[in-house]
Amino acid sequence: MKSKVYIDRRPLATLFLLEYKNAILLLISFATFLIFISSDNIPSGMSQQAYQALIIFLFANFLWVTNIIPLAITSLMVMGLLATFNVLGEAQVYSFFGNKAVFFIIGAFIISAGVSSSGLNKRISYYILSRFGDRPHKLVLSVFFLAASLSHIMPEHAVAAMLFPILMSISKRLELKSSSILGKYMFFALAWGSVLGGVVTFLGGARNPLAIGILEESTGTTIGFLEWIITVAPPIYLIMIMVAFYLSKKVSASTRDTEVLKEMFSEGGGRVSKISLKEIKALIILVGTIYLWIFESARFGIANIALISAALFFVLNVTNWEDAKKEINWGAIMMYGGAIALGKALVETGLLDYINQNYIANMSFSILGFMIVVLYLSVFLTEGVSNAAVVVMLLPVVMKTAMALNLPPVLAVYLVAIPSGLAFMLPMSSPPNAIAYSSGFIKSGEAFRIGLVLNIVSVAIVALFALTYWRLLGIY
- What is the residue range of 467's domain? 48-472
- Spatial separation of the C-alpha atoms in residues 195 and 147, rounded to whole Å: 9
d(CA 398, CA 402): 6
Q: Is 374 domain-assigned?
A: yes
Per-residue CA distances from 240 to 198, 225, 305 (Å): 12, 21, 29
CA distance 114 to 32: 46
Cα-based angle 323, 282, 291 (whole degrees, multiple of 5): 125
Is 43 a member of any domain?
no
Tens-digit pLDDT profile for residues 221-244: 999 999 999 999 999 999 999 999
| Residue 362 per-residue DSSP state | G
Q: How far is CA 411 from CA 69, 347, 357, 365, 471, in A?
A: 32, 18, 21, 15, 10
Residue 13 within a domain? no
Residue 17 belongs to a domain: no
CB 244 within 8 A of CB 144: yes
pLDDT tens by residue, 365-388:
788 889 999 999 899 888 867 787
Q: What is the pLDDT of residues 89-139, one digit of tens each?
A: 888 888 877 778 788 888 888 888 888 888 888 788 777 777 776 688 888
- Mean pLDDT score of the chain, rounded to an integer? 85
Is 232:470 a contact under the CB 8 Å cutoff? no
How many domains in the chain?
1
Q: Give the chain's end-to-end CA distance (angstroms, integer).
A: 77
**Alpha helix segments (H runs only) across 328-443:** 330-348, 351-358, 367-381, 387-404, 409-420, 431-437
458 located within any domain: yes
CA dist 348 and 364 (Å) reads: 26
Are 309 and 106 a contacting pair, CB within 8 Å? no
**Contact assessment for residue 422 and residue 148, using Cβ atoms and an 8 Å cutoff:** no
- Note whether residue 2 is domain-resident: no
Mean pLDDT of 324-343: 79
Assess if residue 40 is contained within a domain: no
CB 136 within 8 A of CB 126: no
24 is a domain residue? no
Confidence of residue 343 (pLDDT cuts 50, 70, 90): confident
Query: What is the per-residue pLDDT for 231?
Result: 97
